Structure 1
Amino acid sequence: MRKQVLSITLIAISAALISWGYKGHRAVATIAQKHLTSNTAYAVSAYLKGESMADVSTWADEHRNPTTGKWHFLNLPLGLSHQQFVDFVNQQSNDNVYGAILKEEAILKDQASTPDQKNSALKYLIHLVGDAHQPMHISRAEDKGGNTIQLRFDNAGTNLHSLWDSKLIDHEGLSEEQIAKQYDWANDAQIKKWQAASPMEWLWESYQISSELYADIKSGQHIDEAYYKKYMPTVHLRIDQAGIRLAGELNKLFNDTKVEAIKAEPINAPALSNNAAPAQQIKLEDVKNNVGKAVSVTGKVFSSKDIRSMVLVNLGAPYPKQLLTVVLKGDARQLTTQLENRTITVQGKIIEYQGKPEIVVEDTHALSIEN
């Protein structure tokens, strides 16, 4: 049987609660990049090992686990005054977007932090500042941030959370470059004012907006052009504020920092270099019993879902009954049409996320497609 061997990058993620979507997060990062001082820009590039802020802006969604998954949002009841809101947030654990932002900034400030620790913290911070400005990430627990409020928009089903993640932005029809340019409209006075606000105030602003959004919607509602025109300026504002404030935080952290150049990791580093034993060939139905092991597994593709920055590919059964999920990212996303109803073999280390087995493969590795 002839096989076509393709080198790809596979990274496992959870598809839930991906804020601002691919375009929105990249826009936040691109706007921030434009407002960095020269020294900060050098430091950021060094700690990111040459990767751009836009390219790492969705990294935190791709590397979720049961602990960091809570970092992307904050649940709280509606109807709180400003002081009640502040008190509520301060009484919570650190496992939310507010605590995570403070934690990652502390790592970046700490001179004892290693380059790898700062690399990870910077990637999280770039993403989480965007999360803090997405109104439906500062919202109610009972509807999972609007995920269970079903709506229709552009002749398709969606929900309140997804509407604000990406659907409104998609409806606008702008490219990534156009979004980053058109959304970045703040003048010097606005920039100074926005950057003076604390992360707590960012969240309070999002809370006020989400409170309005809840009051302005009913489950099953058809979202019309009037709703789009009413709220699109708010989308513009929150993404621009996120970018400007991200730049402000980074300038505070790095403007006076002397950073030695950090050598980037080689692109072709072996994906399983941390595994002493070679990958073991196992059956797809045994994946769940081999968590933590480096394996080679073969299975049929039953379904896939394009979520813009990557494609979730389900082996063994359609979602949500899949036996294994892999993710195609970057150029590999273009392979989606080649994988439909095909049998593939993939190698990597099995991890478990919320009870589901996934394979994380760092850098490049082989994916075989059987004819």
Structure 2
Amino acid sequence: MRFSWLFALPLLAATPVQAWGPVGHRITGAIADRNLSGAARAQVQMLLGVEDLAEAATWPDDMKSDPAEFWRKTASPWHYVTVGEGDHYSPSDAPKEGDAITALKRFTATLRDARASVEDRRLALRFVVHILGDLHQPLHAGGGGDRGGNDVKVTFFGQATNLHSVWDSGLIEQRALSYSEHAAWLSRSIAPRDTIDWSASGPATWLRESIALRKTIYPADPDLSWDYVYRHRAELDDRLRRGGVRIAAYLNAIFDSTAPAADIP
């Protein structure tokens, strides 16, 4: 299988939003752990030790409390993208501070660089796992008008919140499952053909999917409860499944020395 999308990733402008919540990131990390190749698993273990991908997936968010400028300012825009017009992005949309796509490109190069230090490659691995999860959250491919749904005020089962928070964590935590239970449930529903098809795609496809879904999730009624959950639960689970499978496929390709690297259109 060819992974021609690993290196030349287009740039997008950014909107200040947060990330999948910790449970969502752990779910995608746990699904990815189940789908790593032997070579990728060995490389991951050399970099992370006993830390698995579910734990690594939340680390860039955990570090936001660090007072260092890198975490408070530099890395802040690397969790999301904004598509300026329509359903497709353009390199001209990229902000100077970067975004999830530019960060993914840079961290991918670090992971594949045998000369990079262990510390730099460990940081890169954690960010790659995290960013790939974020790109599957539909409000991380924002349109630039409402800070990725953060400005859309709603109630969720009577609690005041915003639409971004509902998709980050509300819909996931409403099921009252641990991340490992949720990941196990979702993994059982991933067919072999799904793994093959989802693994063959790259960031351009992931973003198109997120943009298409994002356009359908804005509610007419801001009071959200069971009806909203019923309409969107399957879509949320699909994004988590795809994100987990694609994290594994991406890492498998990075750590496979025979995998080709070429520009994507």
> Is residue 84–residue 93 contact of structure 2 (8 Å, CA) maintained in 1?
no
Q: What is aligned with 1:119?
A: 122
Q: What is aligned with 2:160?
A: 157
- Whether 1:66 aligns to 2:73 is yes
> Is residue 23–residue 176 contact of structure 1 (8 Å, CA) maintained in 2?
yes
1:1-371 correspondence to structure 2 within 5 Å: 17-63=17-63, 64-77=71-84, 80-81=86-87, 85-86=88-89, 88-89=90-91, 91-93=93-95, 95-184=98-187, 185-214=189-218, 217-218=219-220, 221-256=222-257
CA–CA distance in 2 between the matches of 1:131 and 1:52?
A: 18
Question: Structure 2, unaligned stretches of length 5 or more?
Answer: 1-15, 64-70, 259-265
Alignment deviations for residues 167-204 of structure 1 (CA, whole Å, 9 cap, x no partner): 01111121222101112222111111111111111111
Question: Structure 1, unaligned stretches of length 5 or more?
Answer: 1-15, 258-371
Q: What is aligned with 2:67?
A: none
Tell me which amino acid in the other structure corresponds to 2:252.
N
Tell me which amino acid in the other structure corresponds to 1:42.
A
Alignment deviations for residues 10-46 of structure 1 (CA, whole Å, 9 cap, x no partner): xxxxxx8442211110010000000001221111011
Alignment deviations for residues 126-145 of structure 1 (CA, whole Å, 9 cap, x no partner): 10000000001111323111
CA–CA distance in 2 between the matches of 1:28 and 1:118?
A: 20
| Cα deviation, residue 256, structure 1 | 4.6
- TM-score w.r.t. the length of structure 2 is 0.83
Tell me which amino acid in the other structure corresponds to 1:234.
E
SS of the aligned residue for 1:213 comes to coil
CA–CA distance in 2 between the matches of 1:75 and 1:35?
A: 30
Q: Percent identity?
A: 28
CA–CA distance in 2 between the matches of 1:119 and 1:48?
A: 7
| Cα deviation, residue 89, structure 1 | 4.5
> Is residue 111–residue 254 contact of structure 2 (8 Å, CA) maintained in 1?
yes
CA–CA distance in 2 between the matches of 1:178 and 1:186?
A: 15
> Is residue 149–residue 159 contact of structure 1 (8 Å, CA) maintained in 2?
yes
CA–CA distance in 2 between the matches of 1:163 and 1:141?
A: 19
| Cα deviation, residue 65, structure 1 | 2.6
| Cα deviation, residue 90, structure 1 | 5.7
Tell me which amino acid in the other structure corresponds to 2:28.
V
Tell me which amino acid in the other structure corresponds to 1:28.
T
Structure having the higher Rg? 1
SS of the aligned residue for 1:65 comes to helix
> Is residue 139–residue 211 contact of structure 1 (8 Å, CA) maintained in 2?
no
SS of the aligned residue for 2:224 comes to coil
CA–CA distance in 2 between the matches of 1:251 and 1:90?
A: 30
CA–CA distance in 1 between the matches of 2:252 and 2:110?
A: 15
CA–CA distance in 2 between the matches of 1:132 and 1:24?
A: 12
Tell me which amino acid in the other structure corresponds to 1:73.
Y
SS of the aligned residue for 1:151 comes to strand
Specify whether residues 91 and 139 from structure 1 end up closer, same or farther in structure 2 by C-alpha distance, changes over 3 A only: closer
Q: Which has the higher helix share?
A: 2
Alignment deviations for residues 316-363 of structure 1 (CA, whole Å, 9 cap, x no partner): xxxxxxxxxxxxxxxxxxxxxxxxxxxxxxxxxxxxxxxxxxxxxxxx
Q: What is aligned with 1:309?
A: none
SS of the aligned residue for 1:152 comes to strand
Aligned pair count reads 234
Q: What is aligned with 1:11?
A: none
CA–CA distance in 2 between the matches of 1:54 and 1:181?
A: 13
- TM-score w.r.t. the length of structure 1 is 0.60
